[in-house]
Amino acid sequence: MARVCQITGKKVITGNNVSHSKRRTRRKFYPNLFDKRFFLVEEDRWVKLRVSASGIRLINKKGLKIALEEAKVKGFLKTY
């Protein structure tokens, strides 16, 4: 399973470790992901999602149904 948020589309990005002597080596920055179940009231069922912390906050703000529909339009989520 890829390290990608299904709501916001956040994924792994790359950058540099920079030592005290300014020597640079490549590294990865991972999103803060959680495997979480949400209850979809409209369909009376549970939905399993892999979401970032900001994705959870977005679901709390907008509601699950709206967040899922927006993610589907943007292409982050195929089905739910």
pLDDT for 4-49, tens place per residue? 999 999 999 999 999 999 999 999 999 999 999 999 999 999 999 9
Is residue 7 a part of any domain in this protein?
A: no
Within 10 angstroms of residue 28's Cβ, the number of other Cβ atoms is 9
Q: Give residue 21's domain range.
A: 13-74
Is residue 55 a part of any domain in this protein?
A: yes
C-alpha dist (Å) from residue 65 to 25, 28, 47, 58, 72: 42, 32, 11, 11, 11
**What is residue 1's predicted lDDT score, i.e. its pLDDT?**
65
Is residue 8 a part of any domain in this protein?
A: no
Is residue 3 a part of any domain in this protein?
A: no
**What is residue 73's predicted lDDT score, i.e. its pLDDT?**
97
The number of domains in the chain is 1
| pTM beyond 0.85, yes or no | yes
Is residue 62 a part of any domain in this protein?
A: yes
Is residue 79 a part of any domain in this protein?
A: no
CATH at residue 44:
2.30.170.40
78 — pLDDT class (breaks 50, 70, 90): very high
